[in-house]
Structure 1
């Protein structure tokens, strides 16, 4: 097992959950300034999702790990990101992928009675490049 270290976001919640996953997907950035990235290519993305809260559900979870995986992995693994509706009006950059994963997780968490919060989403596109998306405080409400 490889030990992973992540940028931390300070918070005062009692519980913090981190879910790691990886998925394979292709994309392209259809812009003249994107260089080689304007052509279809693929990545094995590494994703870390941080969820926090003070209350647990009736099973003792902030959220079941498998729910998080099903929301992200099932949606994007072995797909062309440009084909997803959320990327029809914007390019599927690593920044936008991180944001869309946060939106998906946030929308699910809002339906839970104990209201955990997604504090950050890290998307690693290559071994040397990653993006962290952290919502503004007002987005967590």
Structure 2
């Protein structure tokens, strides 16, 4: 089994709906995103997926989320923009391109707190 990891960053603001605490107020994060792809078969070059392809696809998603108010993003109007839901959103977007090779997405909202989404 081979596992690849690509990391990107974006900055955005949000507030949590139906939450009682500081995070119900507007605030921002410098998010770190880790994407993991797994598979058994390498291509003729000896790669699972070219890193530049993964980086490009991840950048397409993070640029969409960069420097915006997440609560106004089409997806997060109905879905609370928690770290968990952001991880799932990125996972689902990358799964369209890479299919079952996407094993998980980790979204860090700070240096000490992260949410991971994967399907069993």
Alpha-carbon contact 2:13-2:28 (below 8 Å) kept: yes
Q: How does 1:89-128 map to 2 (within 5 A)?
A: 89-110=78-99, 117-128=101-112
Q: Which structure 1 residue ranges, 4+ long, deviate > 3 Å from structure 2?
A: 55-61
Aligned counterpart, 1:87: 76
Q: CA offsets per residue over residues 45-68 of structure 1, 9 Å max, x none?
A: 111000112334576451423323
Contact 2:5-2:35 within 8 A present in 1 as well: yes
Judged with a 3 Å threshold, the aligned counterparts in structure 2 of structure 1 residues 51 and 78 are, in CA distance, closer, same or farther, namely same
Partners of 1:71 and 1:105 within 8 A in 2: no
Q: Does 1:29 align with 2:16?
A: yes
- TM-score by structure 2 length? 0.85
Q: Please give the alpha-carbon distance, in whole angstroms, between the structure 1 residues aligned to 2:114 and 2:12.
A: 15
User: For the Cα contact (< 8 Å) 1:123–1:131, is it kept in 2?
Assistant: yes
Q: Which runs of 5+ in 2 are unaligned?
A: none
Alignment of 1:47-58 (within 5 A): 47-56=33-42
SS of equivalent to 2:21: helix
Q: Which runs of 5+ in 1 are unaligned?
A: 1-12, 111-115, 137-141
Number of residue equivalences: 117
**C-alpha distance in 1 between matches for 2:85 and 2:107:** 10
Is the alpha carbon distance of 1:91 and 1:20 closer, same or farther for their aligned partners in structure 2, counting shifts above 3 Å?
same
Between 74-83 and 99-108, report the one with greater CA deviation: 74-83
Structure 1 partner of 2:49:
62
- Cα 1:40–1:58 change in 2 (3 A) is farther
